[in-house]
Chains A and B, each alone.
Chain A
């Protein structure tokens, strides 16, 4: 049982480049989330998807877009990367009002 899988694990981008972070879960969970974590900080919610076909903004959505491709997959896109988006990105999923399962993170550096 793989749980939540994120790709890639590491990425370096130049300012202005675009990229998509991929996330897939195999637990048949309805809800999925994208967070960012900056050094020494907690997690800040970027976007979430309560169920397939719906997405909503979190605390820090500016500069990001998301797609809930199907029940398994939830992708995060940076259209024009900025140094301020250097962070570790975590994807998570939940069945509902229960524990969240996290991926291992994507370390993104924007130079």
Chain B
């Protein structure tokens, strides 16, 4: 079974709105990462948050981590059409064994 599960599976918003997606995982982790995948392409790393961090920002991205609930959220503010993609969280339940969630498909309507 997947280590990470993203929620919702699909999300459709208007340009300029904020998009929030969540990730739940099962085992203890050293860090949690978020990736973006444009259709048919490889994944691109967005942001990494370590287990001793609670919040991290990068540009229009804000990631939170709650290790007590084994969950993380990714917020994209002021979304753009170019943000349309699938977003995945990844964790490493064992050393170097990166496991990805099922992804959230985000569609930003112009």
Contact = CB atoms under 8 A, between A and B. Distances in A.
Interface in A34-48: 35, 41-45, 48
A7 to B, nearest CB: 14
A44 B23 CA distance: 16
Interface residues of A, number: 27
B95 to A, nearest CB: 7
B45 A101 contact: yes
Nearest to B10: A40
Interface in B64-110: 88, 90, 92, 95-103
A33 B102 contact: no
Contacts of A31: 96
Interface stretch (A12-20, A65-73, A76-84, A90-98): A90-98
Nearest to B102: A42
A48 B97 contact: yes
Given A43-B43, A100-B43, A59 B98 contact: no
A54 B68 CA distance: 33
A42 B2 contact: yes
